[in-house]
């Protein structure tokens, strides 16, 4: 199967404001050389601690941020280089669900207006819009009369349903889910995750699911990519990565997941990483994780490990991987 999305050496740097007049310009390297392939109909989870570049990667893939370098091949076209009408056509095929449903909806627009806005932009007739809005309301689990209400009249979970409805209105092929359940109660999270899975089956959607909640990612994802300081350090099938992680950073992340069995929770080995996440303005030399890694050796500070396949579909960027 050919990938629907192929990202190659993608970089996104943000200029940092100078403190002194003649100071050399510095850049925050939010995404720094990412390679990623996403296949039709799959959900790929993107995990990592706050500040690792997950959201920036998702927004750069959608060209909400202009890439600094690299290519984004979507349906055979390099999105990184397109503008005008071709970019508008891409917007129809690739959408995003934002993290905060309170901030992502216009408080002055009714639900009907919110959902049909992308349809107006792309030239749908009034009759077509009416039909699609009614269908969308039913698909996301909202009552038809709700379309004449404003966002402030809904709960957080209902607002996220409205946001999801707006996202799927144009029947996109690819959706970036930017932590879509992190602002919701746990009971509501499960409902939204189930809704996303139902919509994926109904409309043949492909998801890039960004989250810091490893339990949620395990439930919804087919494959999981682990990011650290702007780069992907490990990627594999979800079962493989949760049962047999190779990168020390992945091992440390998974050791933080609570276990419901008190006996197992007491006896398991918890890995506490030393230090804080280094600054993406001045990342460490060699392997970026070596300043916090419990397996780091002299080579790690000098050489940068490449993301290489160690088994079928399982790639890792580490000189001394675990469980191999």
Q: Is residue 232 part of a domain?
A: no
Please tell me whether residues 255 and 198 are part of one structural domain. no
Report the relative pairing of strands 43-47 and 94-97 from DSSP bridges. Answer: unpaired
In which order are the strands placed within the sheet that holds 77-78?
Answer: 26-38, 5-16, 69-74, 77-78
Model pLDDT, residue 178: 94
Greater confidence (212 vs 84) lies with 212
The domain tally of the chain equals: 2
Task: Return the CATH number at 132.
Answer: 3.40.50.300
CB 56 within 8 A of CB 13: no
pLDDT at 126: 93
| Least confident span in 79-83, 139-143, 187-191, 230-234 | 79-83
Is residue 56 situated within a structural domain? yes
265 and 159 in one domain?
A: no
Q: Does 237 map to a domain?
A: no
304 assigned to some structural domain: yes
- Domain C-terminal end among 204, 221, 238: 221
State the CB neighbour count (10 A cutoff) for residue 246: 24
Domain assignment present for 26: yes
Q: Do residue 17 and residue 93 come from a single domain? A: yes
Tell me the CA end-to-end span of the chain in Å, nearest whole number: 28
**Can you give the pLDDT at residue 322?**
86
Mean pLDDT of 199-215: 93
Domain membership flag for residue 151: yes
196 & 254 share domain: no
For 74-104, write each residue's pLDDT tens digit: 988 899 888 777 888 898 999 999 988 888 9
Residue 240 in any domain: the answer is no
Look at residues 59, 3, 78, 69 and name the one whose alpha carbon lies nearest to residue 33. 69
* CB within 8 Å of 241: residues ≥ 6 apart: 224, 226, 234, 235, 250, 314
116 and 259 both lie in a single domain:
no
Q: What confidence tens digit (pLDDT) does each residue in 287-305 have? A: 999 999 988 999 999 999 9
Residue 265 clears pLDDT 70, i.e. is over it = no
Regarding whether 258 and 195 lie in a shared domain, the answer is no
Domain boundary (175, 201, 221) is at 221
- The answer, yes or no, to whether residue 213 has pLDDT greater than 90, is no
**Whole-number Å distance between alpha carbons of 172 and 261:** 41
Structural domain range at position 167: 5-221
Q: Give backbone dihedrals phi and psi of 16, rounded to 5 degrees, phi first.
A: -100, 135
Q: Is residue 197 domain-shared with residue 299, that is, in the same domain?
A: no
Taking residues 186-201, what's their average pLDDT?
Answer: 93
142 and 60 within one domain: yes
Report yes or no: 29 and 230 within 8 Å, Cβ to Cβ: yes
Digit-coded pLDDT (tens) for 35-45: 999 999 999 99
Residue 133 pLDDT greater than 90, yes or no: yes
State percent of the chain over pLDDT 70: 99
Q: Are residues 30 and 121 in the same domain?
A: yes
For residues 93 and 166, membership in a common domain is answered with yes
- Tokens representing 200 are 């994926």
Backbone torsions φ then ψ of 158, nearest 5 degrees: -65, -40
Cβ contacts of residue 35 below 8 Å, gap of 6+? 7, 8, 9, 10, 232, 307
Based on the fold, state whether residues 63 and 177 are members of the same structural domain.
Answer: yes
Mean pLDDT of 56-64: 95
Is the predicted pLDDT of residue 183 greater than 90, yes or no? no
Digit-coded pLDDT (tens) for 5-34: 999 999 999 999 877 777 788 899 999 999
Q: How confident is the model at residue 321 (pLDDT cuts 50, 70, 90)?
A: very high
197 in any annotated domain = yes
- Same domain for 156 and 100: yes
Last residue of one domain, picked from the residues 201, 221, 241: 221
Q: Per-residue DSSP letters for 100-141? A: -TTTSS-TTS-HHHHHHHHHHHTT--HHHHHHHHHHHHHHTT
């Amino acid at each position: 199967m050919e990938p629907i999305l192929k990202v190659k050496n993608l970089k996104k740097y943000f200029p940092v404001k100078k403190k002194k007049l003649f100071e050399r310009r510095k850049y925050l390297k939010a995404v720094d050389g990412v390679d990623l392939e996403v296949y039709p109909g799959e959900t790929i989870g993107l995990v990592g601690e706050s500040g690792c570049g997950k959201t920036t990667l998702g927004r750069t893939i959608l060209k909400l941020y202009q890439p600094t370098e690299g290519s984004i091949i979507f349906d055979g076209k390099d999105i990184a280089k397109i503008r005008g009408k071709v970019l508008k056509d891409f917007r129809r095929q690739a959408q995003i669900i934002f993290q905060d449903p309170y901030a992502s909806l216009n408080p002055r627009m009714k639900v009907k207006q919110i959902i049909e806005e992308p349809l107006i932009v792309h030239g749908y007739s009034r009759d077509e819009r009416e039909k699609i809005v009614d269908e969308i309301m039913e698909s996301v689990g909202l009552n038809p009369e709700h379309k004449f209400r404003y966002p402030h009249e809904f709960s957080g979970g209902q607002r996220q349903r409205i946001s999801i409805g707006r996202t799927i209105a144009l029947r996109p092929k690819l959706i970036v889910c930017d932590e879509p359940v992190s602002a919701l109660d746990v009971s509501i999270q499960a409902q939204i995750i189930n809704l996303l899975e139902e919509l994926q089956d109904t409309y043949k959607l492909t998801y890039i699911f960004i989250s810091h909640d490893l339990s949620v990612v395990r439930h919804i994802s087919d494959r999981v990519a682990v990011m650290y300081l702007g780069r992907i350090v490990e990627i594999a099938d979800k079962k493989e990565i949760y049962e047999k992680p190779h990168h020390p950073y992945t091992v440390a992340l998974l050791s933080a997941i609570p276990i419901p069995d008190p006996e197992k929770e007491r006896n398991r080995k918890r890995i506490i990483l030393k230090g804080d996440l280094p600054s993406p303005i001045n990342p460490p030399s060699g392997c970026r994780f070596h300043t916090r890694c419990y397996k780091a050796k002299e080579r790690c500070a000098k050489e940068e490990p490449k993301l290489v396949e160690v088994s079928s579909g399982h790639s890792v960027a580490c000189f001394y991987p675990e469980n191999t």
